[in-house]
Amino acid sequence: MPVPSDIPGAPAPGQDPDSPRTPLCALDTLPPVGQARGFDPVKSGRDTVFALRRSDGVRVYRNHCPHQGVPLEYRKDRFLSGDGQRILCYAHGAHFEADTGLCTDGPCRGMSLASLPLVIEDGWLYLAVAPDSPLLR
Amino acid sequence: MNIIGPDALVFGVDDVDACSQYLTDYGLQPTGDGRFEALDGTCVIIRADDDPRLPPAIGPAPSIREIVYGVGDAAALEAIAAELSKDREVRRGEGGSVHADDDSGFHLSFALTTRRPYTAPADLTNAPGHPPQRGPNLLGINWDMKVEPRTLSHVVLFVPNMEQAEAFYVNRLGFRLTDKFIGVGPFLRPAGTEDHHTLFLIQTPPFMKGVEHFTFHMGSGTEVLLAGTRFEAKGYTTFWGPGRHYFGSNWFWYFNSPLGCHVEYDADMDLHDDTWEARHRPPGADNSQLFLFTAREKWFPSGPPPKGGAH
């Protein structure tokens, strides 16, 4: 089954049920540490996941606050604190560690953002999640 | 006590530029020194969270630092100062302003109101069965119609003890209860306005203490829908709405914001006087709104006929 993607140039790997793939972007288009980018990989109409670089690699989280299940950003791609070092939910002010997704302050303290498994291959960033996963809606 | 309502909300933030852009895009007028004004001069004030002019924070930045209430006369200021001095520290400032904390720990100040008189058009409606409000050849809308926040409407606070918080505003500052969500919180109206509420309190765990949202009054439901549509087109994220609330009858559309709380557009709120008897209802989706919609991209019924034949 081909990957439903219209990312220009994105390879479309076959879906091996044991190693599902959903492409996000060419790795070199991901912004530098301190910024984040939202993605709508299955064309749901809004950004359902977001990716950010950290010093030791890339993280991708589901755009779904554990407090009320709402989107975190206040504007397209604005998921981080002013200094770019924490993730903030701009709905009710929850603060999350950028490295782990753990909520350190706010209404869902002690809970975590869902961190999505990812694969980097041939310069492309993929989620190791099938395109029909409810995590991407 | 002739308290009119909030004249200014002061926030300490970690990203002054983002908040300034946000409030400008929302429709407020930047007038310098972190001040963003509606048509009547009521405003939001943005400062860096380490600005020494700010009262102490009650949570991590971004967060509310001070709520400035406008009062109608100097006698009210003296009455507030005398009342609050009975059991807490009260500081007097410029122009006789009164500074004190409420029972939840929010920093309040009271000053002679800075609201300016202004006039702005109403959204006139032609309703069959009622004399027309717009006569022949008067258009209801146009492409570039201005929609500007007119006046600071209300602020909503997360408080750890809503009964205690309500008692403070009612018993000490003369607010009236207009309606109440049972177990969640009261809608409160100060003596100097007929607006359904300028303050709503929501019971939450103590670590959530802060502002849930604030909103400015727009001119009509149409203006809420148009302002929200334009704001969303700039990339801002809807939290809830558009819709119309049950208590207060006001239209609403809430957005996420970099100020640490939601920011709303609202319009067409009910007015009340002291003969009103408060309604008590359980909270929930049914009681909080008459209807709720989700905005979508503009669309036009055209294009190729659907597969399988024309209709």
Quick check: is A108 in a domain?
yes
Residue A1 inside a domain? The answer is no
Range of B75's domain?
3-117+147-292
Q: Where are the alpha helices (DSSP H) in chain B?
A: 16-26, 74-84, 162-167, 221-233, 285-288
Cα A137-A64-B48 angle, rounded to 5 deg: 140
| pLDDT tens, chain B, 311 aa long | 899 999 999 999 999 999 999 999 999 999 999 999 999 999 999 999 999 999 999 989 999 999 999 999 999 999 999 999 999 999 999 999 999 999 999 999 999 999 999 999 999 999 999 999 999 999 999 999 999 999 999 999 999 999 999 999 999 999 999 999 999 999 999 999 999 999 999 999 998 899 999 999 999 999 999 999 999 999 999 999 999 999 999 999 999 999 999 999 999 999 999 999 999 999 999 899 999 999 988 888 877 766 765 45
Residues of B in contact with A78 (CB under 8 A): 18, 258
Mean pLDDT over residues A12-29, rounded? 81
Residue A99 lies in a domain: yes
Task: Give the CATH number for residue B222.
Answer: 3.10.180.10
Peptide bond before B242: cis, by omega within 30 degrees of 0? Answer: yes
| Max CA pair span of chain B | 80
Burial class (CB in 10 A: 0-12, 13-18, 19+), B303: exposed
Q: Is residue B51 part of a domain?
A: yes
List the single residue in B18, B63, B237 with the smallest CB-CB distance to A71: B237
Residue pair A121/A7 in contact (Cβ under 8 Å)? The answer is no
**CATH number for the domain that contains residue A44:** 2.102.10.10
How many angstroms separate the CA of residue A19 from the nearest CA in chain B?
A: 33
Reduced DSSP (H G I as helix, E B as strand, rest coil) percent helix, strand, coil of chain A, to 5: 5, 35, 65
Give the closest-approach CA distance of A100 to chain B in angstroms: 20
Domain coverage including residue A63: 36-132
Task: Classify B83 as helix, strand or coil.
Answer: helix
Number of compact structural domains in chain B: 1
**What contacts B253, CB < 8 A, 6 or more positions away?**
B224, B225, B227, B228, B238, B240, B241, B242, B243, B264, B265, B266
Give me the phi and psi of B172, to 5 degrees please: -100, -30
CB contact under 8 A, B256 and A73: yes
Asked, for residue A77, whether it belongs to a domain, the answer is yes
Q: Which residues of B touch A96 (CB under 8 A)?
A: none
Choose the mutation target among A74, A81, A89 for the interface with B, i.e. most B CBs under 10 Å.
Answer: A74
A7 found inside a domain? no
pLDDT at A2: 39
- Nearest by CB: A93 against B15, B205, B261: B261
**B29 in Cβ contact with B40 (< 8 Å):** no
Confidence bin at A18 (pLDDT 50/70/90): confident
Helix, strand, coil percentages in chain B from 3-state DSSP, rounded to 5: 20, 35, 50
* Domains of chain A: total: 1
- With CA atoms as reference, the chain B residue closest to A107 would be B208
- CB pair distance less than 8 Å for B14 and A105: no
Question: Is the Cβ pair B235, A81 closer than 8 Å?
Answer: no
pLDDT digits (tens, 9 = 90+) for A92-128: 889 999 999 999 998 899 999 999 999 999 999 999 9
Q: Using CA atoms, how far apart are residues B59 and B36, in angstroms rounded to an integer?
A: 23
Residues 145-204, chain B: which have Cβ within 8 Å of A?
A: 204
Which pLDDT value is given to residue A120?
94
Distance from C-alpha of B17 to C-alpha of A75, rounded to nearest angstrom: 14
- Evaluate whether B56 touches B105 at the Cβ level (below 8 Å): no
Pick from A81, A82, A91: which is nearest to B239 by CB? A91
Q: In this complex, do B237 and A90 lie within 8 Å of one another by their Cβ atoms?
A: yes
* Predicted local distance difference test score (pLDDT) of residue A9: 55
B275, part of any domain: yes
Chain B residue numbers with beta carbons less than 8 Å from the beta carbon of A73 are: 237, 256
CB-side neighbour CA atoms (13 Å) of B52: 0
